[in-house]
Amino acid sequence: QVQQKDKSDEEVAQAINHKLGDTPGISYSEIATRAYDCGRAELAIKLLEYEPRSGEQVPLLLKMKRSKLALGKAIESGDTDLVYTVVLHLKNELNRGTFFMTLQNQPVALSLYRQFCRHQERDTLKDLYNQDDNHQELGNFHIHSSYSEKRIEGRVGALQNALDEFNKARNDFAAKRHLQEHFDKPYLDLSLHDTVSTLILDGHHKRAEQLYREFRIPDKRCVSPWLGGGSGWGGGAACPVPQRVPVLVPRRDLEQAAEAAMERRSEAEMNLVLSRCSPSTDGAVAEKLTRARAQLIKK
């Protein structure tokens, strides 16, 4: 049946499941592999939905280069070894920036990767903390690093770096505590970057800009052209990259929001923009996003 060309992938998958059900000894992953070998990748993915063992789903998804889908399946399984396998596969497959961004959208995978880095890749751990503006952990990192310094100058330098980071963490804490008291929302457990992002989503643009400038959030994570004019931040202001789409959508800048979502390869942001598209006025934008999302899901 996997070679039938006159029926959709969904119809063929349902027909196979209807015929085989949960028959003992039947492996849907093997049938999916046959479908993939016949050039029907989408059918293979639909057949894998009937495979109850995540450990059998993930290897084929990786072979098909559907790594992000494989990561989701591994996390759903609760098997940490399986998650590690996919994360390390992604690490070798993606460039560094895309890899970090993928993990940011999967907290479980990010937590496991941090554990891996603590033992195997200390410098990468530092990069992860820098990305999150996690000054508390950066301070701890520098203290730990000081023990490996052979010369007294190097040890003092590492401890000074730790002190600088702890001072930043103290300032972060004070600012977030003030925000929490003022807006009656939990900010204390958020990173600085997530705090700014949450403020923007809640419409507190001036407070977000104030934090951005006060704590000098790196420009490499910010973008200004998207927000010139109109409501929100004024021209020349900057905004954390992850929040371009949530800021643009309420302003009905759907075309620019779509471009931002596609540039970031974020399925969640594409869905957000699509949910605001009107068939009568935003058909072209919706069509472009639908195609981009389909390509993203395939990977």
Domain count, the chain: 3
Within this chain, do residues 294 and 255 fall inside the same structural domain, yes or no? yes
- The answer to the question of residue 48 being in a domain is yes
- The answer to the question of residue 100 being in a domain is no
pLDDT tens digit sequence for 150-182: 899 999 999 999 999 888 888 777 777 777 777
DSSP secondary structure code for residue 163 in this structure:
H
What residue numbers bound the domain in which 277 lies? 250-298
Q: Name the more confident of 281 and 241.
A: 281
Q: What is the arithmetic mean of pLDDT over 286-295? A: 84
d(CA 37, CA 35): 5
d(CA 44, CA 195): 41
- The answer to the question of residue 290 being in a domain is yes
Q: Which residue has the tokens 């002190």?
A: 163
- The answer to the question of residue 95 being in a domain is no
With 0-12 / 13-18 / 19 or more C-beta atoms within 10 angstroms meaning exposed / middle / buried, residue 130 is middle
- The answer to the question of residue 272 being in a domain is yes
Q: What is the predicted pLDDT for the residue at 248?
A: 56
- The answer to the question of residue 260 being in a domain is yes
Mean pLDDT of all residues belonging to the chain: 77
**pTM value surpassing 0.85:** no
pLDDT band for 259, please (50, 70, 90 cuts). Answer: confident
- The answer to the question of residue 62 being in a domain is no
